[in-house]
Amino acid sequence: MRTLTPHTLAILFCGALFCSLGCSDEAVPTSASSSGGGADTSSTTTSTSASTTTTTGTGSGGDAEWTYADWAVPGCGIEYAKRPELAFPALEWEECPGDVAGCERIKKNWPHEGVSGMGNPAVMGTANGHAIGLFVKLEQLEPRLVYFSDKGEPEAVYKQGTNSNCFLTRPALSVDGHWVGSQRLEVDPPSRFAFQPRSAPAGQVEMVPFDQLSQFQRGGDELLALQLDFGVGWYIYDRVTGQVHAAPADFTATNPTLSGGSAFMLRFDPDLDSPKAWAFSRQSGGFARLINNDPGVVLAVHADAQDLVWIEASPGAWPVPGTLRRSPFAATAAGVVPTTVRPMPPLGPVEAGAVGDGYYALAGDGYHIFVVRLADGRLWKMPLPPTNDGAYLHHVSHVDATYVFYKTSTHVYRQRLDQLGPGYAANELPP
């Protein structure tokens, strides 16, 4: 393993002087009738976004001022737009197919072809709506990593060159800014990760002291979790302390849920058939078992700043019925004060889930989402919209009192909770 250098917060400045190194002036057209993106006040409000329109490909109109990101891995041609509003269309939502009440999905108002041209989004609730980070693949153009404001306007856009060995990392949002990274196969070191503060000019980033190849990343307000390629290790970078914490050896775990200075995950070793709830906390300075329910197993664990929720079950061949429990937020076993919320339908280990505003949403299987109101245990079993395109559930990205955001293999959706119907009481189970 490569030795990590702790708390190296290198601040790099990238100004326009570097532009000539890697700029191209291509841009994606903005839509003349794009709708407010992140705002959740209506389903399809129409507004006018940036007026500059460019053509696709190498069009030069409406210069987005693409600027070479010199913090990124050399040879990948990572650039950021100094005028992001000209680099990507504003976010639009459209009604879901099948006339599903309260359901919307991100409109592919960019050049696209195919069915799965975007990755799992990062969603963060704000006072005005939702900020969204989205990785998008564009037909005939370089991939984009786009951060939309809670107004749906692009406020940061990255793109990479045509080297297919390169990857822009997954979107990750913080109240203070966003995370970004680039990786390149078969170079050493292969990776660079950075945090772009909202308060700093674009390109003036804080470098993350971690350069190993990471097949998965998840970032939050204070932490960035990085999983090595092939899942052979987990690392958590703490932006507050500048330290990188390595998980114990043979730490096989789900992608964590992040909340403040804590991370929550299911750990599958030493017994792969007996997942346990673990947590990293800045307070304890490391990784530790969170829920002690031996010989039982934990099928899911998620948290936000207020609530810690998990599903306990007895060992057995999956899927098995479980019990949803809740505690006021805690990141150590000593702090957990469990109460029972409701019984859960049979499940296997679940990674995709989110907690917010007293609601818990998690993947039931590849085609349903369970939403639970923690206060009274009411449960909704929400099917995917009838798209007839074979799409299946990838991820549950965010839930709050208004929406649940999720991603299928083809689209990013949001579903209003008040349109879900009556649901099932705490003592009822869906069929």
Partner 1 sequence: MTQRARRSRWIGIFIAGGAAALSSGLASCLAEDDGAESGIDEVAEATDAIVAGTADTTVNALYPATVRMSSPGCSGTLVTPYWVMTAEHCYDEPGQTAIDVDALLGAGGEVSVSHTNATSGPIRLWGADGFRETDIALVRLDQRAPVPYALPAPPPRTTNTCGNSLPGRLVGFGPAWYNENGYPEEGFYCLGAPPGGTRRYGIAKTWERDHDPPGTAYQHIFTSAPGEACTEMAGIGVGGDSGGSLYRTSDGQFCGVISGDGGWHCSKLPIYPFTLSCDYHTAAVDDGDAIVWWSQYLLDVDGEFEGTIPATPANDPDGDGIASLYDNCPLVHNPEQLTTFDDPDGNGIGAACDACPGFSALSQIPNRNFEVELALAYPTRTSAPVVVLRRSDYASDAAFAQARAERLDTFRPDVCDPYPAPLAKLQSGGDLPSSLPGSTTDPSNWPCLNYTGGCSTVTHNRIKVTPLSSPPVQAAGNPNERIGLRWCDCKEVTDFDDSVMGRAKCRNDSAAECQFNPGAYGLSTTGWKQLRTKNGSTWSNPSIGQEWVVPANGAPFFATWDFGALTGAVETDTNFRGVRGILWTHVVELSTPVFGLEPTNIKRYANALSDGSATQALGPNGRLWVAVNDWIDCPMCGFGVEQVLLERGNPWFRKATPQGLDVLEVSHAATREHFDAVAEGTRLHVSASEPPSLLAAQLATGQALVRAVGVRTDGSLVSQLSSQGFEALPLASELSGSGGPSFFRGEGLAFSALEQRLYVLGGLGSSGQPTNKGWFFDLGSASWRSFDLPAGESVGEVLAMSYRHVDRAIYFLDKSGTTLRLRRWHAQRMLDAGAIVTLATFPSSWNAFGKYALALGPTGDLGIVAYRGTSTTKTRLGRFTLSPAHRISTAELSSLTTQILAPPALTPEGFAYSVDAATPYAQTLAFATMPTAWRTNAPTIGAH
By the rule CB under 8 A, 144 interacts with partner 1: no
Query: What is the 3 state secondary structure string of 189-232?
Result: CCEEEEEEECCCCCCCEEEECCCCCEEEEEECCCEEEEEEHHHC
By the rule CB under 8 A, 99 interacts with partner 1: no
To partner 1, the closest distance from the beta carbon of 391 in angstroms equals 5
- Select from 268, 278, 360, 424 the one that contacts partner 1 (CB under 8 A): 268
By the rule CB under 8 A, 97 interacts with partner 1: no
Shorter beta-carbon distance to partner 1: residue 50 or 391: 391
Shorter beta-carbon distance to partner 1: residue 59 or 348: 348
To partner 1, the closest distance from the beta carbon of 52 in angstroms equals 27
Helix (H) or strand (E) segment spanning residue 243: strand 243-246
Q: How many Å separate Cα 331 from the centre of its chain?
A: 21
By the rule CB under 8 A, 351 interacts with partner 1: yes
Cα→Cα distances 402→252, 287, 379, Å: 34, 33, 15
**Contact pattern from residue 366 through residue 405 relative to partner 1, giving x for each residue in contact according to CB under 8 A and a dash for the rest:** x---------------------xxxxxxxxx---------
By the rule CB under 8 A, 295 interacts with partner 1: no
Q: How far is residue 56's CA from residue 141's CA, in Å, rounded to a whole number? A: 8
Q: Which of positions 168-207 make contact with partner 1 (CB under 8 A)? A: 168-171, 183, 185-186, 188-190
Q: How far is residue 382's CA from residue 414's CA, in Å, rounded to a whole number? A: 12
32: β partners: none
| Total length of the chain | 431
- Select from 119, 260, 261, 356 the one that contacts partner 1 (CB under 8 A): 119
Strands 172-174 and 177-184: antiparallel
To partner 1, the closest distance from the beta carbon of 56 in angstroms equals 18
- Select from 59, 197, 242, 348 the one that contacts partner 1 (CB under 8 A): 348
Q: Where are the alpha helices (DSSP H) in 41-174?
A: none
Q: Is the dihedral of CA 336, 341, 347, 351 positive or negative?
A: negative
| Angle, CA of 151, 156 and 157, to the nearest 5° | 120
Pair of tokens at residue 373: 């109101």
Segment near partner 1 (CB under 8 A); pick from 35-43, 52-60, 82-90, 230-238: 230-238
Q: How far is residue 61's CA from residue 37's CA, in Å, rounded to a whole number? A: 24
Shorter beta-carbon distance to partner 1: residue 62 or 119: 119
- Select from 97, 318, 329, 345 the one that contacts partner 1 (CB under 8 A): 318
- Residues contributing to the site for partner 1 (CB under 8 A): 1, 114-120, 135, 137, 143, 145, 164-165, 167-171, 183, 185-186, 188-190, 212-216, 227-233, 250, 252-254, 266, 268-272, 318, 347-352, 363, 365-366, 388-396, 409-410
